[in-house]
Amino acid sequence: MTSLAALRHLVLFSFKVETSTEQVNAVIKDFCILKDKNPGLRHHEWGTNVSPEGLNDGFTRRNINCPPA
């Protein structure tokens, strides 16, 4: 049986307390421009890591990259 499920690459981030908002925004910006620089990425998502179960283990941000199916 062959699966055609799309591959998704998840990266979770945790920033030190002393990390400024400007530094966090610079990381977000750098990840967001990856899609424009890498034709192998079909889709990109960035956001906060929210776990209703409280299982985020200190990781506050997430990035998901999806290569072509």
Q: Select the more confidently predicted residue: 69 or 4.
A: 69
* pLDDT of 50: 80
Residue 6 domain flag: no
Residue 54 domain flag: yes
Domain of 54, CATH number, reads: 3.30.70.100
* pLDDT of 56: 83
The pLDDT tens digits for 17-59 are 999 999 988 988 888 887 788 777 777 788 888 888 888 888 8
* pLDDT of 16: 92
Residue 8 domain flag: no
* pLDDT of 1: 46
pTM: 0.64
Q: Measure the CA–CA gap between 43 and 52, rounded to whole angstroms.
A: 25
